[in-house]
Amino acid sequence: MIPNSINRREFLKTTTHTAAALAAAGGVAPAILSAASPNRIIGIGCIGLGTRGGDLINAVVHVPGVKVTAVCDVYAPHRQKGVERSQNPDVKAYEDYRQLLADRNVDAVVIATPDHWHCQMVTDAAAAGKDVYCEKGLSKTLAEAKLMRDALKKSKVVFQLGHQARQATCALQAKELLAQEILGPITLVRTGRFKSTEPEHPNWRWYGYYDQWNRPDPEQVRKEVNWDLWLGPAPRIPWNERHFWHWRCYYAYGTGYAGDLLSHEMDFVQYLLGHGIPDTCSCMGLNALLRDDREVPDTWIATYQFEKLGRTVTFEGSMNAIASQPVELCGRDATLRFDAIAHDVRTFRITPAEHNRKPLPKGYEIGKTPPQPNHMEDWVNCIRSRGTPKCSTDEAFIETATFLMSLASQQQGRVVRWDGVREEIV
């Protein structure tokens, strides 16, 4: 257990030394080279088995040619959940992720911890030569995103950021159509995320999963959490049950609407159009109804401008509204509208209707796109081939800079601009 008195700088120094020791022990090259064998079973270590991590271990165990060899969580019931879902009677269970990284049976890791841990875990995994799948949002700050990008590129590990919308078969077809400029110049893109829950079930206040509202015994939870290890690089505070369960509500651990929800939609638009980091962003946020002790707004409105392209991209979000804003790309000649938010898309329509009868890529017709690997399979396939996944290191950096622009604009109350030369939000 990490002593209560340790500060953030000392903690990061400790973990950096640990990663260096792992690399020096010979973990880097063997892990990368051995995983490239097309017939070798890839050992997966899952770090973080809570809400999203529980879903990801369910996904990775079904990918051919992999075995979950280790699981890690600082909360005992989540750790046990990982053991049970690993489908491996010999799986190792760890409380400290650094022990998992030192496990020679782990070739690659799936990281699904709160966001404040992502930078340290990703850079440590890269130093240990483990390929990485990490949940979004990638990081809390731009400085962290740069550290992660540099570490990943230097180590040459295969990295995938968890934006599952990129696996949608209809998105691949739409991407090809857009490349043919079938819509004419695209000047406006609309996106959004809306959700309304009962007043007694405020959003982001669940307990361990999205639809679980029954509060576990607080004293028992306290006993079963290694709180110091959960905090890690975050500011040191006494045990706080609400921060543990509802970390998305507090800026010490995440970025609120920006990294959790806006990032999904903006990354999907980037996948479709490939236009990179926006030039400017104007964003406003408000706690309209969910006025508990949360620090993050429940309403989030962002407008991005791509000045050279003459393009505007909007995001509208509210946790208090029954509404819908499917991804919609508006061109001079036609509009392409998906049937849902980014990671739920199944099909799309083009209006005016005559555009749906224009020639499509060979072998394609609207609504009938050839199957492709899901997001986790894409990562594993690239581990074997040493190829580039769909949401690679470079794409992850674009996504992160984009959502952090909205956070900076909202918190500073002004329009912010991306300085591409310095790679800074100004």
The confidence score (pLDDT) of residue 40 equals: 87
173 and 102 inside one domain: no
The confidence score (pLDDT) of residue 372 equals: 84
Q: How far is 272 from 81, CA to CA, in rounded Å?
A: 36
Of residues 52, 51, 46, the one with CA closest to residue 67: 46
In the chain, the number of structural domains is: 2
List the structure tokens of 263.
Answer: 């990032």
181 and 82 inside one domain: no
Q: What is the pLDDT along the chain (426 residues), one digit of tens a residue?
A: 333 333 334 434 444 444 444 444 334 444 554 445 667 899 999 999 999 999 999 999 999 999 999 999 999 999 999 999 999 999 999 999 999 999 999 999 999 999 999 999 999 999 999 999 999 999 999 999 999 999 999 999 999 999 999 999 899 989 988 998 989 999 999 999 999 999 999 999 999 999 999 999 999 999 999 999 999 999 999 999 999 999 999 999 999 999 999 999 999 999 999 999 999 999 999 999 999 999 999 999 999 999 999 999 999 999 999 999 999 999 999 999 999 999 899 989 999 866 665 556 555 566 566 778 999 999 999 999 999 999 999 999 999 999 999 999 999 999 999 999 999 999
Enclosing domain of residue 54: 8-157
CATH of the domain at 117: 3.40.50.720
73 and 170 inside one domain: no
Q: 23 in a domain, yes or no?
A: yes
Q: 142 in a domain, yes or no?
A: yes
The confidence score (pLDDT) of residue 356 equals: 60
288 and 366 inside one domain: yes
51 and 176 inside one domain: no
The confidence score (pLDDT) of residue 360 equals: 60
CATH of the domain at 331: 3.30.360.10
Q: 260 in a domain, yes or no?
A: yes
Q: 140 in a domain, yes or no?
A: yes
323 and 358 inside one domain: yes
22 and 112 inside one domain: yes
188 and 331 inside one domain: yes
- The answer to whether the beta carbons of residues 110 and 122 sit under 8 Å apart is no
Q: 210 in a domain, yes or no?
A: no
398 and 313 inside one domain: yes
Q: pTM of the entire structure? A: 0.91
191 and 328 inside one domain: yes
